[in-house]
Chain A
Amino acid sequence: MAAAALGQGSNPYAADPKMAKVGEFQFRLNCAFCHGLGARGGGRGPDLTRGQKRHGNSDGELFSTISNGIPGTAMPSNGTTGQGVGMTDEEIWQVITYLRSVQVKAPATPLGDTAHGKQLFYGDANCSGCHMVQGKGGRLGPDLTAVGSARATDYIVDSVRHPSRRLAQGLLEATKEFPQEYETVTVVTADGKEIKGVALNEDGFSVQLMDASEQIYMFEKDKLRSFQVSRVSLMPAYDSTLLSDKDLQDIVAYLLSAGAR
């Protein structure tokens, strides 16, 4: 088949179970590194079994997302992941066929009370002290505007209950394989001042961090009295006494609704 025909908006293999199987191989090679086996999402990429996709749901939009990537996100254009060799147009359609085969229908009733979740986010649960949604909130922790589409629900729940289990990823440089994570850094300056915050980025010789008052500091490591990195998140672990299962569901419902836009 000519590449031109394959590159158009409609999937030549739609609903073909054999092609879905072939697409699964391609998915494993090219996509699963971030999106997980079975496309259910991982720490790096969204759950793709959901019907609603942030960057477009149609076959044509998926084709374009896979081919060209999403600028400003970790989603690379086809062939530039450094993991696989890249896919032909034909193989991209096979992957889309596979994704359609594992797609699950959205639950008829929403997960929780979105309005109450929003109230909690900006109120009693105090999420917005450190996190931002659509430009409103703090900037010490990750911006959560897109987290509803970028992460599986289980992942979000786990991150609230056990924030240190998997630290969120921060700065992603196009030229670097590993993004910065939200590690906790404690430094003692030459004059004895202790500063604790989140690492914005770090290399062998310097570190940039933000403290709880959102002040940004830049240090050369060899000029510090001490420098410590910890994978215990600055975010408190919200156990069920701090945040009930129901309230957490409501917050997740709010984040999902914000992310779907």
Chain B
Amino acid sequence: MTNAGGKSRFWVSLLLLAAAFPVRAQVTFTRLLNSAKEPQNWLTYSGDYTGHRFSALDQVNAKNVNSLVAKWVYQTGATGKFETTPLVVDGILYATGPDNRVFALDARSGRPIWLYQRQLPADIRPCCGRVNRGVAVLGDKVFLGTLDAHVIALDAKTGNVIWDVTAVDYKLGYSFTLAPLAVKDLVILGVSGGEYGIRGFVDAYDAGTGQRKWRFYTVPGPGEPGHETWEHDSWKIGGAPAWITGTYDPLTNQLFWPTGNPSPSNRGEGRAGDNLYSNSLLALDADAGKLNWYFQFTKHDEHDWDSTQVPVMIDHGDKHLIAQANRNGFFYVLDRSSGKLVFANPYGKITWSDSKDAEGRPVPNQQSEPTPEGRPICPGALGTTNWFSPSFDPQTGLFYVNAREECDIFSTAPQPYEAGHAYYGSAYFPADETEPYWGALRAIDPANGQVKWEFRHVSPSWSGVLSTAGGLVFTGDPEGNFIALDAASGKPLWHFQTGSAVYASPMAFAIDGKEYLAIAAGSSLYTFSLP
């Protein structure tokens, strides 16, 4: 026994040495730029700057995926939607849970290394759950945006707070729910709060000190271009949050950051105009936060169709494109050097548009406006997709997204603005007489927007998608399954019942030469590998 104990201690210390060395390696900007060279790690929210959510790991493939087994499960003990995408850096997994928990785990075993939980004020009022989608890493720090609108840097080794800055007053309805993005020496975040009549922005903070380097207001102030798209003082409470992690093109040093709905979300009266830059894709200079171009997907939105979906960079020969499967039901491909629309094609049922303008942008029809009595419109308020990530697989050339087939009755009602109070100007309901909601994982050809295959879900999913070099796509469903499908055909090859609806996007990492798949569901983070 003693001998065995001694032996295992010996091995443990050897392993510690082996594991400890890479931990000391800093996550430099160069590593983030070249993340493709270290597929064992997952260094940013979408896996890399392109937004592909593609893993080059291929150990788990179409032939062996049916033998995938649960490896370890980490329980947060928290209730509420668990939306995190973990990061993995050299054997350490960093992830977040509800109520601004952050945890660092041994990625091999799931055992905790440190835990951090923010003491949140009692009167935070996040719109859609006390959620968080993950952290960013840079240098020796881990970065978190909080529900009380702080930005916090934690020591990656201990979880201790290194700096903590207030971005804005949470009492007015501002919060952070997204995973920040680290670019150069900056930490970039967009704010949440489109249900509170905020004035949205994207912020950049110095990773070392926490000092704010720039802020881009997504609703232009007096004298700025776009200000004329707001009626009277409506710009002050115009919404346009920026609550999903954008992408970054190092060639042009541009951030591509999507924005959300104008406020109030379901009533346009009082904010006549296009309401720039709500529901847009912004191309921002990463150093200065200056706007290079924008593309507005839904003008003067009255359906809560935030465009907060990850914009995915796709290169086709010499064409540098950016694609977004939008909440309004259209799949858009833009030229990312100019912001010009290449095409827009529906990828789910839509009733709000039946024509396009000269640029090819879908325009709303007469039946698309909410009325006081209520009017059925597709997609519903939660959209054909929502914040959960799509994936682009460079091997199949396909873009994967979970589509939600649901229509709602949209009604509108006058509502006075009151600071810090919910501000929707409306209500929406499921349409009783229409077909029941359902969902499908769809594979879209980004060359033309055609749906190549779909895998049907019993009800609309809130799960993102991961594609891997093993010829697989992974996703979750609201019935609790984590599913692997053949990337080329959509054939389901494996599934695991997690016991809770999935509200997260999967990721992959490797340790000791073994590929792991990870997904958050319920209050648990699950990992899977070959036996």
A interface vs B, CB < 8 Å?
Answer: 24-25, 28-29, 32-33, 36-37, 42-43, 79, 82, 84-88, 91, 166, 173, 175-178, 181, 202-205, 231
Among B126, B427, B478, B501, the residue within 8 A (CB) of A32 is B427
Shortest distance in angstroms between B473's beta carbon and chain A's nearest beta carbon? Answer: 14
Query: How many Å lie between the Cα of A87 and that of B429 in the bound state?
Result: 19
A-B interface, 8 closest residue pairs, ranked by CB to CB distance from nearest: A203-B479, A28-B427, A175-B500, A85-B422, A178-B459, A32-B427, A85-B127, A25-B415
A204 contact set on B, CB distance < 8 A: 456-458, 477, 479, 481, 483, 492, 495
Residue picked from B126, B456, B459, most chain A C-beta under 10 Å = B459
Interface residue B411 (Cβ < 8 Å from any Cβ of A): yes
Closest chain A residue to B479, Cβ basis: A203
Digitize B420-446: 1 where CB-to-A-CB distance is under 8 Å, 0 elsewhere.
011010111110100011000000000
Contacts of A85 in B (CB 8 A): 125-128, 195-196, 422
Alpha-carbon gap, A173 to B478, bound state (A): 10
Smallest CB–CB gap between A102 and chain B, Å? Answer: 15
How many Å from the CB of A116 to the closest CB on chain B?
Answer: 31
Q: Output the least CB separation between A93 and chain B (Å).
A: 14
Collect the chain A residues with CB atoms within 8 Å of residue B497's CB: 203
Chain A hits for B341, CB < 8 A: none
Contact with A along B148-177 (1 / 0, CB 8 A): 000000000000000000000000000000
Kindly list chain A residues whose C-beta atoms are within 8 Å of the C-beta of B477. 203-204
Query: Given the complex of chains A and B, what is the CA–CA distance between A24 and B425 in angstroms?
Result: 11
Closest to B127 in A: A85
Could you list which residues of chain B lie within 8 angstroms of chain A, going by C-beta atoms? 125-129, 195-196, 373-374, 411, 413, 415, 421-422, 424, 426-430, 432, 436-437, 456-460, 462, 477-481, 483, 492, 495, 497, 500-501, 522
Given contact pairs A24-B413, A204-B458, enumerate 20 new A-B contacts (beta carbons under 8 Å). A32-B427, A32-B429, A33-B427, A36-B429, A42-B429, A85-B127, A87-B422, A173-B501, A175-B480, A175-B522, A177-B478, A177-B501, A178-B436, A178-B437, A178-B459, A203-B479, A204-B456, A204-B457, A204-B495, A205-B495
B405 smallest CB distance to A (angstroms): 12
**Chain B residue with the shortest CB-CB distance to A30:** B422
By a CB distance below 8 angstroms, the chain A residues around B432 are 42-43, 166
B427's partner among A37, A173, A203 (CB-CB below 8 A) is: A37
Q: How far is the CA of A24 from the CA of B457 in the complex (A)?
A: 36
Q: List 5 A-B contacts (CB under 8 A).
A: A43-B432, A85-B195, A88-B421, A175-B500, A204-B495
Which partner residue on chain B sits nearest A86 by CB separation? B125
Closest to A222 in B: B492
Whole-angstrom CA separation of A42 from B431 in the bound complex = 11
Q: Nearest chain-B residue to A203 (Cβ)? A: B479
Bound Cα distance A204, B457 (Å): 6
Contacts of B437 in A (CB 8 A): 178
Chain A residues near B427 (CB, 8 Å)?
28-29, 32-33, 37
Interface centre among A25, A173, A202 (most CB of B within 10 A): A25
